[in-house]
Copies of this chain bind each other. A is one copy, B any other.
Amino acid sequence: MKLHEFYQQVRDISMQMVSPLETEDFIPQPAYFASPPKWNLGHTSWFFEEMILAKYQRNFKPFHPMYNFIFNSYYNTLGERVSRQNRGSLSRPTVAEVFTYRKHIDAQMMSLLDGQELDPALTALVMLGLNHEQQHQELFFTDLKYTFSVNPLYPAYTKRALCEDVNEDSDDFITVEKGLYDIGHSGQGFHFDNERRQHSVFLEDFEIRKSMLTNGEYIEFIENDGYKRFEFWHEEALAWIKEEQITSPMYWQKREDGWYQYTLAGLRKINPAHILTHINLYEAAAFAQWKKMRLPTEFEWEAAADQFKWGQRWEWTESAYLPYPGYQKASGAVGEYNGKFMVNQNVLRGGSVATATGHSRKTYRNFFHASVGYQFNGIRLVRS
């Protein structure tokens, strides 16, 4: 696919995704992490305007003098901005005005990309912008799910809940033998700077489960007092459980006739055969302890990834999010994309039902704080 075609495809998908929404749904932000759909649409457009058009377009003029302030997420290089938790305070610009902004940016971008030999640096930036937009497409689903979940009306975004039956071989483990493994991205295709450079990691023997954990297996953990037995939990996890009075995963609730969970199709009875999701690292690690197993390191995961099916859940690893050997942040705003988060974050691997098609790969590193459960994250077990 040509770059301008890929551009058009990704941008169109963002607009298709919001088509089931009411105007009102574009606005609220019930938690600092749950950005409103309107902000996501504006921010991804601003990314192209500020990172590409401002540099490559002759006589560039910002679409609106305040949009850099409103739609900048976390780029200190690019100046002051609306603080993250206040994105839901803004009724203006209206949804229609943000759509107009998107069309304006698309027109500018298409005329930049069309009909000329592209500078490789420009191509790289456009690819970054499109992958960035795909990341926000995923966030659109997870943010909207959170926003709808706090509404006592439990609105449905879609008719199909984002979950899938688990494959059947739940007890099968894949054996991986000790030795040096190549970790990280080595090819020419698009990848983030945090996947580089490819390097050797020595792994000991381990076995990794073919299938992911199911709801049914996790219910067993709950019903065996899993949330009350401190010996399975990290110390800071116990503080979280106590302070937030946690007794089950995010979006779950127990009713008289069993367990329910809020899904993007509304409140639904939990199917024990479905793959578990919305588990944070504390819960994933405690479950593994209970099973006398553990979570994989990100290196074990990558070394074995060709041998199991992945892509339905972001999978927690035991690894902290740290730079690979030789990692250097780029200069300027692009350098703020990944490197500055490399402390107190944990790596997830794979991709989820909410991830854009073709966006992830086996070297892809997602990262979140241990307490985050609003992503479609799950558990894959390892034993030594």
Inter-subunit contact A92/B153 (CB<8 Å): yes
Inter-subunit contact A285/B343 (CB<8 Å): yes
A9 beta carbon closer than 8 Å to chain B: no
A169 to B282, CA, bound (A): 45
A225 to B204, CA, bound (A): 45
The count of identical subunits is 4
Inter-subunit contact B231/A335 (CB<8 Å): yes
A95 to B325, CA, bound (A): 52
Inter-subunit contact B90/A28 (CB<8 Å): yes
Given contact pairs A24-B92, A202-B200, A230 touches B76 in the complex (Cβ within 8 A): yes
* Chain B nearest CB, measured from A298 CB (Å): 11
Given contact pairs A23-B24, A25-B91, A344 touches B236 in the complex (Cβ within 8 A): yes
A26 to B92, CA, bound (A): 11
Inter-subunit contact B89/A28 (CB<8 Å): yes
A105 beta carbon closer than 8 Å to chain B: no
A60 beta carbon closer than 8 Å to chain B: no
A118 beta carbon closer than 8 Å to chain B: no
Contacts of A125 in B (CB 8 A): none
A238 beta carbon closer than 8 Å to chain B: yes
The closest CB in chain B to the CB of A318 belongs to: B322
A42 beta carbon closer than 8 Å to chain B: no
* Chain B nearest CB, measured from A324 CB (Å): 10
Given contact pairs A326-B384, A341-B235, A152 touches B70 in the complex (Cβ within 8 A): yes
A364 beta carbon closer than 8 Å to chain B: no
A323 beta carbon closer than 8 Å to chain B: yes
Inter-subunit contact A384/B325 (CB<8 Å): yes
Considering only residues 295-313 of chain A, those with a C-beta below 8 Å from chain B are none
Considering only residues 190-238 of chain A, those with a C-beta below 8 Å from chain B are 199-202, 204, 230-231, 233-238
A319 beta carbon closer than 8 Å to chain B: yes
Contacts of A343 in B (CB 8 A): 234, 236-237, 281-282, 285, 346, 370
Contacts of A252 in B (CB 8 A): none
Considering only residues 251-285 of chain A, those with a C-beta below 8 Å from chain B are 281-282, 285
* Chain B nearest CB, measured from A363 CB (Å): 18
A320 beta carbon closer than 8 Å to chain B: yes
Considering only residues 1-45 of chain A, those with a C-beta below 8 Å from chain B are 22-30, 38
Contacts of A180 in B (CB 8 A): 202
Contacts of A201 in B (CB 8 A): 202
The closest CB in chain B to the CB of A325 belongs to: B204
The closest CB in chain B to the CB of A344 belongs to: B344
Among B24, B25, B91, B282, which residue has its beta carbon within 8 angstroms of that of A155? B91
The closest CB in chain B to the CB of A335 belongs to: B231
Inter-subunit contact B91/A88 (CB<8 Å): no
Inter-subunit contact B235/A74 (CB<8 Å): yes
Inter-subunit contact A24/B22 (CB<8 Å): no
Q: 6 closest A-B pairs (Cβ-Cβ)? A: A320-B320, A30-B89, A24-B91, A27-B27, A76-B230, A202-B202
Additional 20 contacts, C-beta under 8 A, given A29-B89, A86-B150: A23-B23, A23-B24, A25-B92, A28-B28, A28-B89, A30-B89, A70-B152, A70-B153, A76-B231, A77-B230, A89-B147, A91-B148, A92-B151, A231-B335, A234-B343, A281-B343, A318-B323, A325-B384, A343-B346, A344-B370
